[in-house]
Structure 1
Amino acid sequence: MLQASKLHSRVSGASEAPGFDKRVLALVGAILCSCLFLQRFGFPAGAKNASIVGPIGIGLAGWGLLSGVFAFDSRRLVIFLALTFCAVLGAAWHAVSPGPFSTPLNVQSISQFLLLTAFATLTFSEPVDELRFFRLLNFLFMLAAAAGTLQFIAQFAGIRIFAFTGLLPESILFESGYNLQILAGVGDLLKSNGFFLVEPSVFSQLMALALIVEILAFKRLPYLAIFVTGLLLSMSGTGWIVLATFVVAAVFSMGARGVVIAAATVATLAVALAAGLLLAPDLALAIQDRMDEFSRPGTSGHMRFVTPFWVLSDIIRAEPSAALLGIGAGASEQQNLVYSYDVNTPVKIILEYGGPALIAYILLFVVGQRSAIQSALVAPCLALILFTGGYQQFPPILFLVMMLTSVARLRRA
């Protein structure tokens, strides 16, 4: 590891571990709190607001480096430099030889992408107790789950707070463009968005991660119950995709224990889902409607999981060099095509920076020292960051996932 300063280099020892753990977990707790509870807050940045979590996370990371709590991971630092090279090379190519899909150089977009991604080059300067780390994480997830559950229940008393717009000044909010209020398909109820989170889908994904951690590390029934409740009340399919990825990965990577964990997870979720359908029969129609979205143009599921690959295929067919060099930062979302489309993280990175850049980007989440629980989280975290939303420049989710897969350096209790 590349230490931030020789003054802060340390030799791991049992006597100083508890004190060092507290320092790390205090900093990690501050970063995670901003990721979970400040998602909807922003600050003016040109024509629209930017997420306040970005500068908070970067500032705390810088403090961690200066104080010796964080260090650079040499392998991921090299990978990040390779990613930067790919981005700069593509920008230079399009400046000299613009293609039919190229747009003017967007310095803000490429700078933001690289600055936020640089968070993955960090690691803890010394390992931290694994169970203490995940206990902190799931305590914060539990607070989000409780807030989302209370938000949903409050609807029955006529209280609906699903957006802060209108309650707080728009100059401090980061809600524009997000689907905060979505009908659940059961009467006039709205899907829970976790109160602090930007969408029900984000709530769903985080509840899935919380369930995975709880199943692997603690198995506390009250926590399992609140996380399952949050997952069901979000009424979003992306969390189930994250869970399905975990189940499949557990079967193939954890041996007999993985098969048992996967079977127990599926059984628990099946019972919870059956109970939900029993209590709210209309929920079955809502679930069926969501499943049908994949084949219905214009729906959320079709836009998120189908159209990205349409636009990728169309652009690379017309401009083959885009597969290597992309079409320029910010250009993936500015194409005037005959159909409406959305882009997910891998498609956006390929289209803007090229295939080699995507490989480097994925390696930032894969390369690193991990505990057993962390290793089990890699597959579902990759599914979340790559396929459930455009999170490559959304710091609340990006920093959280990088913390779990790359930055956290943990030791067994």
Structure 2
Amino acid sequence: MSEALQRRTGLRPAAPTVRPAGPGVPRPAATGAPRGAAPAGGPGTPDHHEDRAHRRTTSTADARVMVAMTVVIVSLTVVQRLALPLGSPVPVTIPIVAAALGYLAYHGLLREDGASVRTYLLAMGTLSVFALVDIAWRGTGSLTSLLLLVVTWAALCFRVDERRRHLFPRVQQRFETFMLVFAVLGIVQMLAQFSGAWSYTDYVREIVPPDLVFQGYNTSYPIEYGSPVIKANAFVFVEPSVFSQFLALALLSTLSRGRQLWRVAVFGVALVCTVTGTGFMVLGFGLLVLAVRRGGLWAARAAVVLAVGVVAALLSPIGPILLSRTGEAGQSNSSGSLRFVQPYEYLLQRWSDDPWSLLTGLGPGMADRISDAIFARSGLPISFAGGAKMVLEYGLPASVLVGALLYVAVVRRSPAPAVALAAVFLNAVTSSSFLAANIFYVVLPMAVLFAGRTAAVPAPSPADRPGFGTAPSIPWTVVPTSPTGATR
């Protein structure tokens, strides 16, 4: 208001009114910023641009880790049966996983774990010394088998960057999704055969050249002697038993996350369709670990659900076959006896006849040679599990160090201990896969690469949340973790 107008009217300009702060009314802060300027830290400021750039970088890093983990999971499932004809078949999983880890290392998203590296060097060094003694002194063992073991197990020494470990639940979910597809395929295999709409055909063997497909596995195996119905293997798994073990691992992963529990039913039905006991062994072991970790109430609920599932399985057309196999371990020359009784009887007899083998073993690769010799002599397909094979070939001291490596690299500080322990059980007890990377490497995405403390994930600023200024360029989540970064 001009001075002349004030003299004519006698009015004075009113002072600005300041409303007192009250409930829900913030006190305005004094600032010298011009009207229309962005507040400190808001859109248009250097801090804001830096924060958005950090989140874009984080989004790119997360995407790269998920791409690499998807490639690893594909190598463990879709191309599990494929091999490279390099003298002796080499799983195509090895170069694929090496490429995925190299991709992460190139982008600075992979690092070595000091404790795992030290334990690996100690275990592999001791194991190599005993193996070379056998090769030089006894004249037994394969240097190629030794080198394959050393190279394969080197992957246990690496971890993803700690700022990416919050992705583990997403990796679990992706593995479960792959296995869900194959579970449905396995169920369809059985339903189509029982209905007579389709007779089993191994499409992988028909399409892929023989030199690129693993030989020597019981890939197509009838549900019982003389039956035209073949156990479910989802076509891509080397054996129905391996399929069942992966299904059990996926089921345990779903339970450990506590999300999308409807998947448990699908995995359970598919597990029954494999008509093998090893998957149930892995599942039982994992459920026992979960029951110990989660307490009596969880164990009671799980027992009720498990009892219902067992009754439903026994009432199915496959039920009588499953029931007839429950006492196999005590039956001479049965499948259970050939896997879980006779190999250990042979091992004890060998130690009795040759005490020195308890210390140094018989040499790398000897378990398979002994199995082949027994089969040629008696027609009995004895199969040494991973743990028994390790002790037989490398001796007890080296095997103890290998067990320490598995604990340090796979189980210790695992984001899902029950899944990690079940994966070790799978490889050591129910499968002879310590040298089979296409099976052994399941420990990488499900335990090894995400072991350790999970770094906190920064939440976006309020200005970048939907409804406050500019919407964020990427979705954001904060994964709650325990102080050790582990889930039960």
Shorter-chain TM-score range: 0.7 to 0.9
CA contact (8 A) 2:414 2:447 kept: no
Give 4+ residue runs of structure 1 displaced > 6 Å after superposition: 369-372
Q: Does 1:69 align with 2:104?
A: no
Residue in structure 2 matched with residue 8 of structure 1 by the alignment = none
Question: How big is the shift at 1:219?
Answer: 3.6
Q: Deviations over 1:332-384 (max 9, x none)?
A: 23235686532111111112112222222223332158667512223222211
Q: Deviations over 1:232-281 (max 9, x none)?
A: 111111111111112222233x1xx333333333322322232233242x
CA distance in 1, matches of 2:127, 2:328: 34
CA distance in 2, matches of 1:83, 1:71: 20
Q: Deviations over 1:40-63 (max 9, x none)?
A: 1122122x5332112212232233
- More displaced stretch, 346-355 vs 128-137: 128-137
- More displaced stretch, 295-304 vs 202-211: 295-304
Q: Which residue identity does 2:146 align to in structure 1?
A: I
Q: Which residue identity does 1:325 align to in structure 2?
A: T
For 1:244, which of 273, 279, 284 is the aligned residue? 284
CA contact (8 A) 1:87 1:357 kept: yes
CA contact (8 A) 2:131 2:146 kept: no
Residue in structure 2 matched with residue 110 of structure 1 by the alignment = 146
CA distance in 1, matches of 2:243, 2:369: 28
Residue in structure 2 matched with residue 289 of structure 1 by the alignment = 324
For 1:301, which of 336, 346, 354 is the aligned residue? 336
- More displaced stretch, 151-160 vs 131-140: 151-160
Q: SS at 1:291's partner residue?
A: coil
Q: Which has the greater radius of gyration?
A: 2
Q: SS at 1:37's partner residue?
A: coil
CA distance in 1, matches of 2:316, 2:216: 33
Residue in structure 1 matched with residue 275 of structure 2 by the alignment = 235
For 1:404, which of 446, 453, 458 is the aligned residue? 446
Q: Which residue identity does 2:394 align to in structure 1?
A: Y
Question: How big is the shift at 1:163?
Answer: 5.5
Q: What is the 5 A alignment of 1:133-212?
A: 133-155=171-193, 156=195, 157-162=197-202, 164-174=204-214, 176-185=215-224, 188-212=228-252
Residue in structure 1 matched with residue 353 of structure 2 by the alignment = 318
CA contact (8 A) 1:191 1:200 kept: yes
- More displaced stretch, 378-387 vs 403-412: 403-412
Question: How big is the shift at 1:398?
Answer: 0.8
TM-score under structure 2 length normalisation: 0.74
CA contact (8 A) 1:144 1:194 kept: yes
For 2:158, which of 111, 114, 122 is the aligned residue? 122
The aligned length equals 390
Q: Which residue identity does 1:108 align to in structure 2?
A: T
CA distance in 1, matches of 2:170, 2:208: 35
Residue in structure 1 matched with residue 260 of structure 2 by the alignment = 220
For 1:388, which of 425, 430, 436 is the aligned residue? 430
1:258–1:198 CA distance, 2 compared to 1 (3 A): farther
Q: Does 1:258 align with 2:299?
A: no
Residue in structure 1 matched with residue 82 of structure 2 by the alignment = 41
Q: SS at 1:158's partner residue?
A: coil
Question: How big is the shift at 1:158?
Answer: 1.6
Residue in structure 1 matched with residue 30 of structure 2 by the alignment = none
CA contact (8 A) 1:385 1:401 kept: no
CA contact (8 A) 2:328 2:337 kept: yes
Q: Deviations over 1:64-112 (max 9, x none)?
A: 22332221111111111112212221133224532xxx51x41111011
Aligned-residue identity in percent: 24
Q: Which residue identity does 1:275 align to in structure 2?
A: A
CA distance in 1, matches of 2:239, 2:127: 30
Q: Does 1:361 align with 2:397?
A: no
CA distance in 1, matches of 2:129, 2:413: 36
CA distance in 2, matches of 1:265, 1:234: 22
For structure 2, the residue ranges without an aligned partner over 5 or more in a row are: 1-53, 455-478, 481-488
Q: Deviations over 1:119-164 (max 9, x none)?
A: 1111112242232222222112212212222222332312423452
For structure 1, the residue ranges without an aligned partner over 5 or more in a row are: 1-12
CA contact (8 A) 1:38 1:52 kept: yes
CA distance in 2, matches of 1:149, 1:69: 38
- More displaced stretch, 351-360 vs 261-270: 261-270
1:163–1:265 CA distance, 2 compared to 1 (3 A): farther
1:263–1:380 CA distance, 2 compared to 1 (3 A): farther
Q: Which residue identity does 1:298 align to in structure 2?
A: N
1:63–1:20 CA distance, 2 compared to 1 (3 A): closer
For 1:275, which of 312, 318, 322 is the aligned residue? 312
CA distance in 2, matches of 1:141, 1:72: 29
CA contact (8 A) 2:351 2:357 kept: yes
For 2:121, which of 56, 72, 81 is the aligned residue? 81
Q: SS at 1:391's partner residue?
A: coil
CA contact (8 A) 1:180 1:199 kept: yes
Q: Which residue identity does 1:229 align to in structure 2?
A: V
1:225–1:288 CA distance, 2 compared to 1 (3 A): closer
CA contact (8 A) 1:206 1:239 kept: yes
Q: SS at 2:206's partner residue?
A: coil
Residue in structure 2 matched with residue 28 of structure 1 by the alignment = 69
Q: SS at 1:43's partner residue?
A: strand
